[in-house]
Amino acid sequence: MKWFGLIATVFTGILLLSAVPDFAAFGDPDSPANGGLGDHPSVSQYYITDTYTDTKVPNIVTAVLADYRGYDTMFETVVIFAAGIAIFAILRSFSGPVAPSHPTAIDTSVEGDHQRIIIGTTCRVIIPVIQLFALYVVAHGHHSPGGGFQGGVILGASFILVALAKDLSAALGRFSEKRYLALGSVGILIYAGFGLLCVALERNFLDYEILHRIMPATDPIMARSHSMLGVEVGVAFTVTAIMFAIYANLSSKGRLEQGF
């Protein structure tokens, strides 16, 4: 196996490298991917030049993510959601000893009390800040790097921090299994719901333009911008929920009690 692995690896490597001299040079703005080919302008040029006209969103990445390739992103969210459900399906076990109802120290071998006080207090201070920042990242994705995934991960991390600092049941007390499973579904429901709304208004799926009819005080272009914010929120919901779900299941062997 060792030799086979080595040979396979070397062979693949040589194959991959054999094409490298044919590549456009690194950083070349005229490479086919960046600059297009002859009479085929590259789509990325279109994105850079026209995004603002189309959507009024200055962060091109966000616009491409949530609008031009919003269909991709919806399934990306589905992937995350599927992973959460998958981990639940694989690991979650309902049998086994019942979890102690009171939170216990995470680590009794070290001088527990002091640590708990220090960590607990620090966390109490920073967790709201983290969560606030997460919301900012979600909301400000139009203008700065950020968006639903990033914000969702940060928000999920804040709950994981609770679990780390205190213990899992404390975190579950704030964000119970029933809730995070529901929130995961709701997130995609929001995303797909925006798409379906467009279908209901007789446009193609995810064609946000038409939503200006039901959004107050918007024109078609701003409708795109606002809808993008909406779907980003949906993404953030799902990502938050699933990040925490993954942690909760992995850290407790699916029993959702005190960790290892």
Partner 1 sequence: MEFLNASVIPYFNYWIYVVLMMIGLHAMITKNNLIKKLIGMSIFQTAIILFYVSIGVKTGSTIPILEHHHDEGHAETAHAVAESGDHHAEETDHEKSDHGNNEHAIEADHGIDPDHFANPLPHVLMLTAIVVGVSTLGVALAISQSIYKDFGSLEENEILAKIKQGGPGVDV
Partner 2 sequence: MSEQLPAIILLAPLFGALLTGLAGNRDHRRCFPILISALAVSFGCAIALLVQVSQSGPIDYFVGGWNTERVPLGVGIQLRIDALNALLLVVITTVALLTAVYSFRRAGEENTEKTPQFYMLFQMLCVGLLGITVTADAFNLFVLVEVSSLTSYALVAMGSKSRGTVAAFNYLIMGTVGASFYLLGVGYLYMQTGTLNMAAIHEILADPAFGKSSTVFVAFILILVGVWIKMAFFPLYGWLPNAYSYCPSTTSCLLAPLMTKVSVYVMIRVMLSIFGADWVFQSLGWSHTVVWLAVIAILAGSVLALAQVELKKMLCYLIVAEVGYMVGGAWLANHWGMVGAIYHILADAFMTLCLFIAANIFIKHCRADRIDQLEGLFKRMPLTSTGFVVGALAMIGVPPTAGFFSKWYLLRGGIESGQWGYVIALLVSSLVNAVLFFRIIEIAYFGKNPAESHDHAHDEDSHQGQAGEATLLGGEGRPATVIPLLITAAIVILLGVFNAPVVEIIQQALEGMPVVGAAAAAR
Site for partner 1 in 48-77 (CB under 8 A): 48-53, 58-61, 64-65, 69, 72-73, 76
Asked if 198 and 207 touch (Cβ cutoff 8 Å), the reply is yes
Q: What is the nearest approach in angstroms of partner 2 to the Cβ of residue 177?
A: 9
In angstroms, rounded to a whole number, what is the distance separating the alpha carbons of residues 154 and 205? Answer: 29
Site for partner 1 in 2-31 (CB under 8 A): 2, 4-6, 8-10, 12-13, 16-17, 20-21, 23, 25-31
In angstroms, rounded to a whole number, what is the distance separating the alpha carbons of residues 258 and 103? Answer: 8
Residue 92 CB-density burial (10 A; 0-12 exposed, 13-18 middle, 19+ buried) = middle
Q: Which of 134, 223, 246, 248 is the binder for partner 1 (CB under 8 A)?
A: 246
Asked if 61 and 224 touch (Cβ cutoff 8 Å), the reply is no
Q: What is the nearest approach in angstroms of partner 1 to the Cβ of residue 44?
A: 4
Nearer to partner 2 by Cβ, of 203 and 253: the residue is 203
Of 86-94, 102-110, 169-177, 204-212, the window that binds partner 1 (rule: CB under 8 A) is: 86-94
CB within 8 Å of 51: residues ≥ 6 apart? 57, 60, 63, 64
Using only the alpha carbons of the chain, give its radius of gyration.
23
Is residue 37 at the binding interface for partner 1, with CB under 8 A as the rule? no
Nearer to partner 2 by Cβ, of 138 and 188: the residue is 188
Query: Which DSSP helix (H) or strand (E) runs through 87?
Result: helix 70-91
Q: State the residues that interact with partner 2 by CB under 8 A.
A: 15-16, 18-19, 21-24, 31-37, 40-44, 46-47, 50, 67-72, 75-76, 78-79, 81-83, 85-90, 92, 94, 178, 181-182, 184-186, 188-189, 192, 195-196, 199, 203-209
